[in-house]
Structure 1
Amino acid sequence: MSVQPIQSGTQSPANSALAASVRARIRAGIWTSHTSGLADQHVQGNVVILPEAQANDFLRFCQQNPKPCPLLAVSEPGQYLLPTLGQQVDIRTDVPRYRVWQHGQLTDEPTDIASIWRDDLVTFIIGCSFSFEQALLEAGLPLRHVEQGRNVAMFRSSIATNAVGPFHGPMVVSMRPFKPAAAIRAIQITSRFPQVHGSPVHVGLPHLIGIHDLSRPDYGDAAEVRDDELPVFWACGVTPQAVVAQAKPDFCITHAPGAMLITDLLNHQLASF
């Protein structure tokens, strides 16, 4: 499996330089937090790294669950440079914070995984909803977590994923509040971006998808939902972390929620129309 983005395109030196400069700050350990709002024109990716023995099952899991796990790239075993996603992108150093899992248990949250890299590891880059946020903002739709400099709120839902081999578990969803008219517009806009989760999976009535307290997200930061607003839920690329907890592979590395890989690809290139 060679590293291939789902959709690429010609990058201008200025655009590439911006993304590369942000990655350089991350690689140097200057930035170790969430990446919402950083290089906001650029595609950001969720990260899952698994031993080759589990990689084929996880690849099929992603194919069977394209809403929460839209694949942007898959590497060859042991390949840590991802050249088609950006200049000198190194998956070992270019994510602000990682999570290391052993037998389904979170054991570490390092900012660099070079010391634990193995020749049998396969990297999966999965589309992130941060990519459609630029389109929402350009349409004049406010995003509260961006305004407040916070990470988006994410919840483990009762929506089941399609199981493949050992991989199964609940879908994680991200939530953004909108007034009803704005929610309709947000649905229209995000439906253009199926490679980064596309349209929402649920609107309003969070208890219907197993969410009973919006003030207590499982990942990210809580966002107020005002009386004249609806909570709108999108499938989220943190889903693999819930799946890893269920599958309990011997070894797995993911990104910390909200701490994404920033690529040289541009968000508008992922629009389907």
Structure 2
Amino acid sequence: MKLLRFEKQGQAGWAVWNAAAGAWHGTTHTAQGYPGDVDALIRQGRAALDGAALAMARQPAVDLSTVQFLPPVARPGKILCVGLNYRDHTAESGFVQPAYPTLFARFNTSVTAHNAPLLHSELSDTLDFEGELAMVIGKGGYRISHANALSHVLGYSVFNDGSVREYQFKTPQWTMGKNFDGTGAFGPCLVTADELPPGARGLLLETRLNGQTVQSANTSDMVFDIESLIVTISEALTLEPGDVIVAGTPAGIGHAREPRLYMKPGDICEVEIERVGLLRNRVLSIDTTTPATPTPALEETTP
């Protein structure tokens, strides 16, 4: 199953991909026959989500050029990110490869959607790109075993862990630089785990800045695979349905280049993961006193 969330004329909704018709089908929450919000359905379990998807498939086709995309999960209870999870990125960053995953938190105010702006703050010119695989928990648990770990995964999406490097490295803790508003792009869709190889292994991940490939790797190159991350995190934290784990970025970040290559207003950054999707965002300058305004949609997306 592939699903995406959207907003049309101020009304939130979602749609599922109909491969036979080659179209997205769905509707908004005010329409007759609306089967419920994605977040609530994830909490109810896969059977509830599958039943709702069948109902959505009977709704009219959705013209994605007329909607604004929303992140695949509206309000994840936790967004847990993994640093230094590709050896080449660890090396380019000047760190020794850790034996334990480097974990940090993102907050929902930092998240933006496909085709929405990545916000460039006037506080710093060091906004960097990080293309990453994101995993959404479907079944909660505590102290999950390695053998059962993948049964807790609902699906996968694409994430751009936009990082304001100047603020990231002001302290040993990375929280501030990883949580500027509107810097973590998430989407465009959620692809359920049964559509992909176990643990989403063997998939090409690429980041492009203004059409130039700046990161290229394979998800099999991760130091800590999806199962290991679930086991490690759930040793201490209860994972809940809808939680998001962002699994780390490969080499090629702008901060490690000479000269350094940061995103600037007007740039277009794309992160694409094979069989998962293409996440595209334009960088928008915003001062610290003015609310953000959405940029026009760039293109329709298909799986």
Q: Which has the larger radius of gyration?
A: 2
Q: Which has the higher strand share?
A: 2
Greater relative contact order (Cα 8 A, min sep 6): structure 1 or 2? 1
- Structure richer in helix, relative to its length: 1
TM-score of the superposition, structure 2-length normalised? Answer: 0.26
Q: TM-score, normalised by structure 1?
A: 0.27
